[in-house]
A and B are shown apart, each in its own frame.
Chain A
Amino acid sequence: MTTEEKIRILGDAINEGEKDKAVELLKDWSVQSGFKEIIFTVLEPMLIEWGKLWMQGKLSLAHGYLSGKVAEEFYMIASQSEEMLVADKKVKGTIVLGNIEDDFHPLGRRLVHIFAKSAGWNIIDLGNDVPAEIFIENAIKNQAGIIAVSAMMFTTAKNILKIRNELDSQLLSDKIKLAVGGAVFKLRPELVADVGGDGTADNAIDAPALFDSLISKVK
């Protein structure tokens, strides 16, 4: 079976809502080719392709959710394999990720988690409804160069400004960059500056490129 065929079969399984079947397929192929090979040539290219299709409006958020679940489960299985323990790729840095205080819309954050992890970032995911001081505390503790914050609504996005103010008041703005994202930033691009963000990405698939750019500015 060619790599293209594997990508198509995997996509078909996810499209049909068959999460367990998709994970089993990946596991079976990994027995033959190794986890690393399947992650790099099948799973990640499929995620990238689906991300592009989602951006074009050809796939739904539910497709993204299910592909993320498949990836999450398979990464977990792969991470426990001997092959991945010795062949772990170089970590680019640490990102503290979460939904801002009062925000309970985790889907975008979870997709960013998947794509950033695939791209080689160590992710500390704090979950939903995270106050500014918890972001700062975890970034310092884990020596993160980036805090990445998600918000879906205008009213919750404004809480991100508290992180900016904390970073500034603790003189951390050169050491920790603030990435912001979520549906509201696409509708109102001026919000990125209003909440003190150092940058944003239009979607989860573009998030790793944003992180690469931001980490290069850390002093």
Chain B
Amino acid sequence: MNSLERVLATIPGIETDYQPFTMLLSLYGASLLKTSAKEYYRNPELWFEGQKAVVDNFDPDILITPFSFPIEAEAFGCELLFFDKYAPNSKKPVITDLSQIKDLTTPDFEKSLPIRFFLKSTTLLANQYGKTKAIASPIHAPSDIPALLMGMEMWIDTLFFHHDKVKEMMEKTTEQFVKLGNELIERGATFLVVPVNFTTAMIITDRIFEMLLPYLEKAFSQIKGPIVIHNGGSKLLPFIDRFAKLPNVIAFVLEPSESFNEARKIIGDNMVLMGNFDGPGFANLTQEKAIEKTLKILNDRKNDKHFIFATSNADIPYETPVETIKAVVHTIRDFKKY
């Protein structure tokens, strides 16, 4: 069984030779190359070299194309701040007044630097590994992007009090989501990973979620491939029943404190569940503690054929010791699942 077969087997629930796994090592590629994240997040060839180093060191079953919410927002005009050892951050909202939404333009894929970075990196990764490994492409939910373009508070305010502007904004972010999502699949992504940092019960009310659902349904139905919903640092369970009914959704990456058993009670036994090792918390763990946490998750999911071990939340930090990550990988490889 190769990695791709191992990952795809979890969809029908076919027994695999060992537990498939993935880790969010997008930023960590820069650490392995001992290069600055500033150049890494601008240069697709360098980013690809980083991911090759990830494969050489850890050999995950799913490889993940560049993961950066701010770079997605940059495509709409947000200015970024770059750092040596951290993923880029957006400097300030691009929309400060609701009247500016009408002037917001979706990016030209030929000219947009951030879009070209996403697409070229995906092509390089898929060309090299697409036949043997699953390729996951993160793309944020169309309901989340506005939170970065205008700030969370203004987006919440808009959702409460300016429904006409919600429609105007969601039409633009949906158009971008569908276009970019399908282009990523066209270039070799096995599936899309859609983080919903904002569109969760930790951030919005049930009424707001209900208002956003038709937009998500419209967006997801136009995607020509499977979709994995990622927690993005928030809890998924309060809305997971409704996410599960959206078109093309096949799997969920749970937040580290969430219970797989609880999720199974809500969505049943057949959808794929992933998680839920805390990625950002990696750097603070001893090898022993990391192994202990890994075994706890593996034992919890021992009989679950629709399970993929994954890190949750954001990137594994740049300064995490290689040995700690390798200790987790070896624990997964040595685990007797069946």
A interface residue numbers (CB < 8 A to B): 15-17, 19, 57, 60-63, 65-66, 102, 104-107, 110, 129, 153-156, 187-188, 190
B156-A102 in contact (CB<8A): no
Chain A residues lying within 8 Å of B207, measured Cβ to Cβ, are: 16-17
Contacts A19-B160, A105-B153 supplied; 17 other A-B pairs, CB < 8 Å: A17-B205, A57-B201, A57-B202, A57-B235, A60-B202, A60-B204, A61-B204, A62-B159, A62-B204, A65-B160, A66-B160, A102-B81, A106-B151, A107-B153, A110-B153, A155-B81, A155-B86
Question: How far in angstroms is the closest Cβ of chain B from A172?
Answer: 28
Is B203 on the interface with A (CB-CB < 8 A)?
yes
Chain B residues lying within 8 Å of A107, measured Cβ to Cβ, are: 152-153, 156
CB-based A-B contact count at 8 angstroms = 62
- Cβ 8 A contact of B89, one of A16, A17, A129, A155: A155
14 contacts between A and B (CB under 8 A): A17-B207, A17-B208, A19-B160, A57-B235, A60-B201, A61-B204, A62-B156, A62-B203, A65-B156, A65-B160, A102-B89, A105-B151, A155-B86, A190-B284
Chain A residues lying within 8 Å of B208, measured Cβ to Cβ, are: 17, 62
Which one of B159, B203, B208, B284 has the greatest number of beta carbons of chain A within 10 Å? B203
Question: How far in angstroms is the closest Cβ of chain A from B217?
Answer: 21
Bound together, the chains give a CA A155 to CA B38 distance in angstroms of 13
Within 73-110 of B, Cβ neighbours of A (below 8 Å) are at: 81, 83, 86, 89, 91-93
B202-A65 in contact (CB<8A): no
Specify the chain B residue showing the minimal Cβ separation from A190. B284
- Cβ 8 A contact of A62, one of B89, B92, B93, B205: B205
Task: Tell me whether A102 and B91 are in contact in the complex, defined as CB-CB below 8 angstroms, given that A57-B235, A62-B208, A155-B86 are known contacts.
Answer: yes
Chain A residues lying within 8 Å of B334, measured Cβ to Cβ, are: none
Question: How far in angstroms is the closest Cβ of chain B from A65?
Answer: 5
Chain A residues lying within 8 Å of B56, measured Cβ to Cβ, are: none
Task: Tell me whether A104 and B151 are in contact in the complex, defined as CB-CB below 8 angstroms, given that A17-B207, A60-B202, A155-B81 are known contacts.
Answer: yes
A62-B83 in contact (CB<8A): no
Chain A residues lying within 8 Å of B89, measured Cβ to Cβ, are: 102, 153, 155-156
Specify the chain B residue showing the minimal Cβ separation from A155. B89
A104-B203 in contact (CB<8A): no
Chain A residues lying within 8 Å of B161, measured Cβ to Cβ, are: 19
Chain A residues lying within 8 Å of B205, measured Cβ to Cβ, are: 15, 17, 60, 62-63
